[in-house]
Structure 1
Amino acid sequence: MDADEFWLFLQRSREVTSDPDERLRWLALHLARSPLSRIVDFQILLNQIRRRSDTYDMWEAANLIFGGHCSTDSFWYLQAWLIGLGRDTFDLAVADPDNLADVPEVRRLAERPMREWADEWPEWEALSYVAAGAFEEAAGEEEGIYDPMAGRGQRNQSAPRPTGLSWSSRNLTEVDRRLPRLSRMFSLGASEL
């Protein structure tokens, strides 16, 4: 599996259903029917692609969306959610996190308080585990995916390690400079839980 196949595979799951849990079941089922090397490919590609969104700029954009409360876990889960939105959306956001202002799913969130987000919460934690589960199903070996990953010189990442220069979305001058459109949509302290 290469990056193009990875994105096509995610796109197919989204064409089948928009429900995140049903998408995960579809992904797990189809991965588990694949050769083990393809399952490992999926996890390695997920990690590599995710790494592109693992920046301080993206974290502060997420922090703005979450009303100033984007934890390490929340940021990690948001990265998977962004990947789940598809290649074009992901590339748009990675190019400039302020482009999240153009993403329909983000625009819908901005229209109401966080307490009303319910099933639309911008996270997809379980995508991080779908390949490990599929590998276990196919090979009958719990946590078996990690040895073949190590054999390829890969480690599974389980938390953000942002790149770039650290800054704070609590600095309104920086927010206006770096995330002008998002800051008009989401203001810190304005979101109600």
Structure 2
Amino acid sequence: MTETTFWELIDISKKQTTENKYEQTQFLTNYLSTQTEEEIFSFEEQFQKFYAKSYTSPLWCVAYVAMGGCSDDGFDYFRAWLIAQGKEVFENAMHNPDSLVSAFDTLREQNRGDYPEFESMLGVPLDAYIKKYNFADRDDGIDAYYARLDEFPRVPFPEMVFNWTEDNPESMKKICPAIFAKYWDDPF
């Protein structure tokens, strides 16, 4: 799966979902489960590439401000949400994290109690693999998936160097002034 194909699939999955974001994972899982094993793992590889790329201090700052705090796990789920928004939103956020203000505003306007987090997006390839091979025992499917995943190269995460601190709001305001102005006193 190429990068272009990956983003096209994300965009298609996003267009197929009107009720809630979990429909997006269902669409992706169902689609990938009909593809070859190599396509499932290729999707995982592409996802992990962008997941690692988005492991940045400015994006963590944006998540922290918008959500009124952001743990390690919360940042993982935030980056999964960011990827699920599609190529344009992702690339804009990579160049200017403050550009996410419009995506946050849209999410808030939908008023479904959603946060900019999407934990289940992390399990799409695994779920597709389990569905493809119809494992009766989910644990057996998990074991088989991770044994096979070990055959593929890992995408390394970059070293995180924070350029903000949670006890210095001004340091966060410099990174994302628009998000800070809208969400600091009224986070998700």
Shared fold by TM > 0.5?
yes
The one-letter code of the counterpart of 2:49 is Q
> What does residue 105 of structure 2 align with?
107
* Structure 1, 133-142 or 161-170: larger mean CA deviation: 161-170
Per-residue deviation, residues 40-78 of structure 1 (Å, max 9, x unmatched)? 0111111111111111111111100012x2111211111
1:21-60 paired onto structure 2 within 5 Å: 21-60=22-61
CA contact (8 A) 2:66 2:187 kept: no
Per-residue deviation, residues 13-58 of structure 1 (Å, max 9, x unmatched)? 1111132122211111110000000000111111111111111111
CA contact (8 A) 2:63 2:78 kept: yes
Gaps of 5+ in 1: none
Is residue 2:178 matched to residue 1:177? no
Q: SS at the partner of 2:165?
A: coil
Is residue 2:97 matched to residue 1:129? no
Q: SS at the partner of 2:160?
A: coil
Report the TM-score, using the length of structure 1 for normalisation: 0.83
Q: Relative to structure 1, is the Cα distance of residues 78 and 117 closer, same or farther in structure 2, using a 3 angstrom cutoff?
A: farther
Deviation at 1:118, TM superposition (A): 4.0
CA contact (8 A) 1:40 1:145 kept: no
> What does residue 164 of structure 1 align with?
161
Output the CA distance in 1 between the equivalents of 2:30 and 2:48.
Answer: 20
Identical aligned residues as a percent: 23
> What does residue 142 of structure 1 align with?
141
Output the CA distance in 2 between the equivalents of 1:170 and 1:134.
Answer: 42
The one-letter code of the counterpart of 1:22 is E
Equivalenced residues, count: 181
Output the CA distance in 1 between the equivalents of 2:84 and 2:159.
Answer: 20
Output the CA distance in 2 between the equivalents of 1:38 and 1:145.
Answer: 13
Report the TM-score, using the length of structure 2 for normalisation: 0.85
Deviation at 1:192, TM superposition (A): 6.9
Gaps of 5+ in 2: none
